[in-house]
């Protein structure tokens, strides 16, 4: 069976999903398909009264279902069934996502959905491994810290990997016994609604996972500032993260987890396996056409091999299979919107005006939709716009260094610290440089995540606060209550 499909034939779920039901909605944002630029749907906007309704529904569902206080294994079982349904429904779920997003159908099925289902199982298995602590106290007393869920968590996700990003939030939040009110990006709303329908079909009580469609200023703002939201979990741009942190504090203090932007360096030493480094760097920047938070967009290479390495990148970068996301053979993604591709063009234009040399790309692909050619710019310094801004497109800059200290200094970005790559055959240098890189994740002799859900992800500096994935994400979805009991025999 081919995975290719007709985008016109996909039935899109319309409306918010509250208390286990689709709710028709007001307010419309017109949507265009990134693959061909066609108008195809509208996204509703949940106003504050709808947000109130969703939060109240989640609170009631928590109270009536006992989700946070049940035998934890019951949560585990329901979440396993949910993961099974995701896999069983993968083609239909992938079609909903491929219509609106930049994710090719084949990547969604083999990657995003398969990995998300496994990751839901990983967190499901954590539900009954969490223990409260009996702690040493003074004689005649007994002390405990009791681990409890927060209640209703507000989660907001971006458009670049809609199902995966939803999974990062939902797995730990639900396994830890919370309810969730989630807002996907207004550009890619539909697959998250289907995830919520599948959760109910799997036996996760209705009302525990609600989806509100809408934009940031109206719906997102109403969620992050809602007094009934006990914790906010956000993935998106640094600018929106800052606004959310402020808003979340304004109406009552609550914790925020922020997974934000990046401008990640790839430091290549002359002794590295250059073939391996070039392949990893090209794969890293071409994934989702550079629309990945961890896109390793700044290549920083030792001067003695710089020209050779630039040649290796120039040879590999154009080897792409662009196409609509609904074509099974597509391997190279469109850019999400006209606005975003125009932004890429503007930054590359400014970079060239400030001295950058185009070694390949730096233009749109001549085809329908919003496709940008893989691009390599050399002759840039750390002040060039292309090495400063998070471009969120398939654009690499290449800078050179002569000493280890200089390479490390160049890798340091004034704002971002999400991820970094490091290529060398010298183990001591690899570990030494790893310690100096100011990034939440360092990949050595590879670039990109594995399928090990135990490894957390998160940023240093303005790239974020807290972690998604790993044990840390589960623990971040619970809080601890201190208990002290007097047990001394009365005098
Ligand atoms: P964005 O910040 O524009 O939007 C993300 C989400 O936040 C959307 O759902 C949007 O509607 C909502 N939003 C925007 N402003 C808001 C506000 N004031 N209050 C509440 N909600 C608001 O980001 P984007 O363009 O959708 O995604 C790209 C960005 O996401 C990039 O910067 C990328 O690096 C980042 N990202 C980070 C990670 C990570 O793990 N660190 C992962 C994926 C994407």
Quickly list DSSP for 404-434.
HHHHHHHH--SSEESEEEEE-S-HHHHHHHH
- Ligand 1 neighbour 465 (Cβ under 6 A): no
Q: Give me the catalytic one of 186, 293, 302, 390.
A: 293
Asked whether 407 lines ligand 1 (CB < 6 A), one says no
Please indicate whether residue 415, judged by its CB atom, sits closer than 6 Å to ligand 1.
Answer: no
Other beta carbons within 10 angstroms of residue 229's beta carbon come to 24
pTM of the model: 0.97
What residue ranges of the chain have pLDDT lower than 50? none
Q: Can you read off the two tokens belonging to residue 412? A: 């340091």
Residue 123 three-state SS: helix
Smallest CA-to-CA distance from 287 within 112, 96, 468 is with: 112
Please identify, in words, the CATH class of the domain defined by 7-260.
alpha beta
How would you label 400-434 residue by residue, b for 16+ Cβ within 10 Å and e otherwise?
A: bbeebeebbebbbbeebbbbbbbbbeeeeebeebe
- Measured in Å, residue 239 CA sits from the centre of ligand 1 at 8
Question: What pLDDT, on a 0 to 100 scale, did the predictor assign at position 329?
Answer: 97
- What kind of architecture, by CATH, is found in domain 265-451? 3-Layer(aba) Sandwich (3.40)
Cα–Cα distance measured from residue 57 to residue 63, given in angstroms and rounded to the nearest whole number: 10
d(CA 253, CA 83): 34
Tell me the β-bridge partners of 358.
377
Evaluate whether 359 touches 315 at the Cβ level (below 8 Å). no
User: Cα–Cα distance between 148 and 177 in angstroms, integer?
Assistant: 8
pLDDT score of 131:
86
> Which of 14, 32, 12, 38 shows the shortest CA–CA distance to 24?
14
Q: How far is the CA of 133 from the centre of ligand 1 (A)?
A: 37
Cα first-last separation, the chain: 80
**Half-sphere exposure in the Cβ direction for 346 (13 Å, CA):** 9
Ligand 1, closest atom to CA 186? Answer: 11
Q: How far apart are CA 390 and CA 386, in angstroms?
A: 8
Residues in the chain: 491
CA-proximal residue: ligand 1, atom 10 (nearest): 216
Q: How far apart are CA 116 and CA 83, in angstroms?
A: 8
Active site residue 259: yes
For residues 15 and 22, give the distance between their C-alpha atoms in angstroms, rounded to a whole number: 6
b/e 339-358 (16+ beta carbons within 10 angstroms → b) = ebbebbeebbeebbeeebee
Q: Which atom of ligand 1 is nearest to the CA of 468?
A: 40
Angle among Cα 420, 421, 427 to the nearest 5 degrees reads: 120
| The pLDDT of residue 460 | 98
Centroid of ligand 1 to alpha carbon of 237 (angstroms): 4
Q: Is the CB of 259 under 6 A from ligand 1?
A: yes
Looking at 108-246, which runs of residues are DSSP E strands? 133-135, 141-149, 152-156, 179-183, 209-211, 231-235
Residue 53: name the closest of 27, 88, 26, 16 by CA: 16
Q: How far apart are CA 289 and CA 340, in angstroms?
A: 12
Residue nearest to atom 35 of ligand 1 (CA): 236
What pLDDT is attached to residue 154?
Answer: 98
The domain limits of the chain are 7-260, 265-451
Q: Which two tokens stand for residue 40?
A: 């195809």
Pocket flag, ligand 1, residue 417 (CB < 6 Å): no
The active-site residue, picked from 43, 97, 186, 259, is 259
Among 158, 111, 83, which Cα is nearest to 3's? 111
Q: Is 294's C-beta closer than 6 angstroms to any atom of ligand 1?
A: no
Instruction: Judge if the beta carbon of residue 459 lies within 6 A of ligand 1.
Output: yes
The best mutation among 223, 240, 257 to test binding of ligand 1, ranked by most ligand atoms within 8 Å of the C-beta, falls on: 240
| Cα–ligand 1 centroid distance for 260 (angstroms) | 7
Establish whether 360 is a catalytic residue: no
Ligand 1 close to Cβ of residue 215 (< 6 A): yes
Token pair for 185: 């990006």
The closest-lying atom of ligand 1 relative to the alpha carbon of residue 183 is: 9
Q: CB of 240 closer than 6 A to ligand 1?
A: yes
Q: In angstroms, what is the span from residue 241 Cα to ligand 1's centroid?
A: 7
Residues contacting 235, CB < 8 A, separation 6+: 156, 157, 158, 165, 168, 169, 258, 259, 260, 293, 468
Helix axes 90-100, 162-175, angle to 10 degrees: 120
């Amino acid at each position: 069976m081919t995975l290719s499909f007709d985008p016109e034939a996909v039935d899109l779920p319309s409306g918010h999903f509250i208390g286990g039901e689709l709710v028709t909605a007001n307010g419309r944002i017109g949507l265009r398909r990134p693959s061909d630029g066609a108008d195809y749907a509208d996204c509703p906007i949940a106003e504050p009264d709808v947000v109130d309704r969703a939060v109240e529904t989640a609170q009631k569902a928590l109270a009536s279902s006992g989700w946070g206080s049940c035998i934890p294994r019951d949560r585990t079982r329901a979440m396993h069934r949910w993961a099974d349904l995701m896999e069983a429904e993968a083609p239909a779920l992938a079609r909903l996502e491929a219509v609106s997003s930049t994710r090719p159908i084949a990547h969604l099925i083999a990657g995003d959905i398969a990995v998300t289902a496994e990751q839901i199982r990983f967190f499901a298995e954590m539900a009954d491994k969490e223990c409260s602590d009996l702690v040493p106290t003074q004689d005649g007393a007994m002390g405990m810290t009791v681990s409890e869920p927060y209640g209703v968590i507000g989660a907001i996700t971006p458009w670049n990997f809609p199902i995966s990003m939803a999974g990062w939030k939902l797995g730990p939040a639900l396994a830890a016994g919370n309810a969730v009110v989630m807002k996907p990006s207004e550009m890619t709303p539909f697959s998250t609604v289907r995830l919520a329908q599948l959760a109910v079909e799997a036996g996760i009580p209705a009302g525990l996972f609600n989806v509100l469609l809408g934009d940031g200023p109206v719906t997102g703002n109403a969620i992050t500032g809602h007094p009934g939201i006990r914790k906010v979990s956000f993935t998106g741009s640094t600018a929106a993260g800052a606004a959310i942190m402020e808003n979340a504090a304004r109406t009552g203090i609550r914790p925020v987890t922020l997974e934000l932007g990046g401008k990640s360096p790839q430091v290549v030493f002359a002794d590295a396996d250059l073939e391996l480094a070039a392949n990893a760097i090209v794969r890293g920047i071409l994934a989702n056409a550079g629309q990945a938070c961890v896109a390793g967009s700044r290549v920083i290479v030792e001067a003695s091999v710089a020209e050779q390495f630039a040649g290796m990148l120039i040879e590999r970068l154009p080897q792409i299979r662009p196409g609509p996301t609904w074509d099974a053979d597509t391997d190279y993604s469109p850019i999400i919107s006209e606005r975003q591709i125009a932004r890429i063009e503007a930054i590359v234009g400014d970079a060239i005006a400030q001295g950058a040399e185009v070694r390949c790309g730096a233009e749109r692909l001549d085809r329908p939709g919003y496709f940008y050619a893989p691009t390599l710019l050399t002759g840039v310094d750390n002040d060039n716009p292309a090495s400063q801004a998070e471009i969120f497109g398939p654009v690499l800059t290449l800078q050179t260094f002569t000493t280890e200290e200089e390479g490390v200094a160049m890798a340091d970005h004034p704002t971002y610290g999400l991820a970094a790559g490091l290529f060398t055959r010298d183990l001591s240098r690899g570990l030494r440089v790893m310690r100096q890189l100011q990034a939440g994740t360092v990949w050595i002799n590879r670039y990109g995540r594995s399928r090990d859900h135990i490894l957390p992800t998160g940023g240093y500096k303005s790239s974020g606060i807290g972690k998604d994935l790993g044990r840390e994400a589960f623990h971040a979805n619970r809080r601890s209550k201190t208990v002290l009991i007097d047990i001394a025999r009365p005098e």
